[in-house]
A and B are shown apart, each in its own frame.
Chain A
């Protein structure tokens, strides 16, 4: 039983990171029909940007700021203007393929210009244990969980409580009508790309101390976020959050109770079942089918 509690907390901590990445993923899909196959690489890259900043002598906090800003410039603005804008009008599939190529490009660039080896990354949460309900729990898990929850709550507040958030939601639901009632649709779409870039940089900051910085670490992460987004509901932010937490917990429990060999299979089977039984996801709305 006590073991179960540890697994749950660890699962929720990784799940919260998946959730952040998955939320960014669904935001891009909602506002601009972009299935970003490079989302995992987007999480991998900011850690290397921060490492590079530290390499030239910046202190850790400054490196974080530089990494965040660079990531918003490259993965937000650059991604939208150079890749998504020219390709969007040609449909979902060519753009998805282009993001796959982008994933290869980012991975290889990191491998060439930084290192093919895994590099350690400092944690923003101090190491050690704290006691919760009389149990020793790793401070890192708790810290990650708290920061991730703060990010998710902040984002939800932004989307639901502020005028900009309402404008973003209107843009996602119906761009044409949004434009008619005077919402600057283009600016809102750009904003979602920037938010996504911020979220992946945050996820990078949280997860890299656990898994080390490596050029190939985006593959697993991207896939987990992907599944989280679909399981929760592709067109709902809260769906993506629920999906992320669920996948994190299921993944950890499967590793402990099913088998380490088939651990990766459990989320996949969950995915197939969800798509077949409830294609709109656990919390999603059904999308209207166009004939």
Chain B
């Protein structure tokens, strides 16, 4: 059974990856933009999933880190530096700020932590908007160049989509490795029971800060891709609602599941566009209703439904096995 499941899963993975590579060739400019945006938002949501889903620390500041990453990349590339340098600086910057933002988490938890990070998010937005000498204020930064990779320019939408997809693949592999490493296990221990984790000798203090820093750094990575994707940034996309959106992606996809952010970003980025195609004006309203219904049906998100189904089947299979074993033990009449 499990062998079949594994083949089935690998096949599904191959089909999805092939579709992500081949299908965009037949999409128009706008479709490519939306799909690239999906890849970028998935990266940011994966970062938040590490902080929230695995380490259990609520953050409403992920959108601010996407903003910090985007502004870093935009400022550096418009001044002639390569995007890869911007990426490096953005990662370091977001890692450091995320580390500092983690300190309140050592003192307060749950909804209080959500409010501290919410306040940080608003402050970051005010800085983007008001510090015109750096960010050009409400006028924003335009003409952000797209990178040239291995001598191959990615100015057209399709090559840049592959840049986003490739980055998503790299980040996915790194995250996959991280959550299977001792660090990832320590994060889960921190989420499940901080006191027990501490008594088992896990430095909960360091891992809490680390969970924030790494999650924030991934937000920065998403930002460095966002800037060349839109080629123009202003403060508006990085306000509080982006942080709320990212949180929604993580919860709706399935918080603490590896593939949760992929599905969550799909719901938050692709679903409204798809509904817009079908119904003209009401798409955000229908989207809100869809999210509410989904959460009422399964508060653990989409992957929660699948998880529940698999667990049920496993329990049934196990009890069937037990029944067989039991009947074998009974003496023949």
Judge whether B126 and A275 touch: CB under 8 Å. Answer: no
Q: Which of B85-93, B284-292, B305-313 contacts A (4 or more CB under 8 A)?
A: B284-292
Bound-state CA distance A109–B281 (Å) is 10
Judge whether A264 and B122 touch: CB under 8 Å. Answer: yes
Q: Taking the complex as formed, is B21 at the interface, i.e. its CB lies under 8 A from any CB of chain A?
A: no
Bound-state CA distance A239–B223 (Å) is 39
Judge whether A276 and B111 touch: CB under 8 Å. Answer: no
Judge whether B108 and A104 touch: CB under 8 Å. Answer: no
**Which listed residue, A86, A108, A262, A291, touches B284 by the CB 8 Å rule?**
A108
A93-B251, A98-B292, A98-B296 known; A35 and B111 CB under 8 Å?
Answer: yes
Judge whether B112 and A261 touch: CB under 8 Å. Answer: no
Bound-state CA distance A75–B62 (Å) is 30
Judge whether A272 and B288 touch: CB under 8 Å. Answer: no
**Which listed residue, B112, B115, B193, B300, touches A226 by the CB 8 Å rule?**
B115
B17 CB to nearest chain A CB (Å): 29
Judge whether B299 and A276 touch: CB under 8 Å. Answer: no
A229 CB to nearest chain B CB (Å): 9
Contacts of B107 in A (CB 8 A): 276, 279
Q: Taking the complex as formed, is A87 at the interface, i.e. its CB lies under 8 A from any CB of chain B?
A: yes
Give the interface residue-count category, chain B. Answer: 35 or more
Judge whether B116 and A104 touch: CB under 8 Å. Answer: no
The dominant DSSP class at the B interface is helix
Interface residue count for A (Cβ, 8 Å)?
39
Judge whether B251 and A291 touch: CB under 8 Å. Answer: no
Judge whether B295 and A261 touch: CB under 8 Å. Answer: no
A35-B111, A101-B288 known; A94 and B295 CB under 8 Å?
Answer: yes
Q: Taking the complex as formed, is B13 at the interface, i.e. its CB lies under 8 A from any CB of chain A?
A: no
Contacts of B292 in A (CB 8 A): 83, 98, 101-102, 105
Q: Which of B74-116 contact A (CB under 8 A)?
A: 104, 107-112, 115-116
Contacts of B248 in A (CB 8 A): 97, 100-101
A97-B251, A261-B130, A271-B115 known; A109 and B104 CB under 8 Å?
Answer: no
Contacts of A109 in B (CB 8 A): 285
Q: How many A-B residue pairs have CB under 8 A?
A: 104
Q: Taking the complex as formed, is B218 at the interface, i.e. its CB lies under 8 A from any CB of chain A?
A: no
A259 and chain B: residue at smallest CB distance: B130
A262 CB to nearest chain B CB (Å): 6
Q: Taking the complex as formed, is B189 at the interface, i.e. its CB lies under 8 A from any CB of chain A?
A: no
Contacts of B109 in A (CB 8 A): 289
Bound-state CA distance A97–B112 (Å) is 16
Q: Taking the complex as formed, is A55 at the interface, i.e. its CB lies under 8 A from any CB of chain B?
A: no
A93-B251, A271-B115, A276-B107 known; A86 and B244 CB under 8 Å?
Answer: no
Q: Taking the complex as formed, is A90 at the interface, i.e. its CB lies under 8 A from any CB of chain B?
A: yes
**Which listed residue, A83, A87, A98, A275, touches B115 by the CB 8 Å rule?**
A275
Bound-state CA distance A40–B43 (Å) is 30
Q: Taking the complex as formed, is B247 at the interface, i.e. its CB lies under 8 A from any CB of chain A?
A: yes
Q: Which of B218-239 contact A (CB under 8 A)?
A: none
Bound-state CA distance A92–B255 (Å) is 14
A262-B130, A291-B193 known; A269 and B123 CB under 8 Å?
Answer: yes
Contacts of B240 in A (CB 8 A): 223
Contacts of B110 in A (CB 8 A): 92
Judge whether A91 and B299 touch: CB under 8 Å. Answer: yes
B231 CB to nearest chain A CB (Å): 27
Q: Which of A43-72 contact B (CB under 8 A)?
A: none
6 contacting pairs across A/B (C-beta < 8 A): A101-B292, A104-B285, A108-B282, A265-B122, A271-B116, A276-B104
- What 8 pairs between A and B have smallest CB-CB spacing? A105-B288, A90-B299, A94-B299, A101-B291, A108-B285, A268-B119, A108-B284, A104-B288
Q: A87-B295, A104-B287, A279-B108 are in contact. List 10 more A-B contacts (CB 8 A).
A: A93-B58, A97-B247, A105-B289, A108-B284, A108-B288, A230-B112, A234-B111, A261-B130, A269-B119, A272-B119
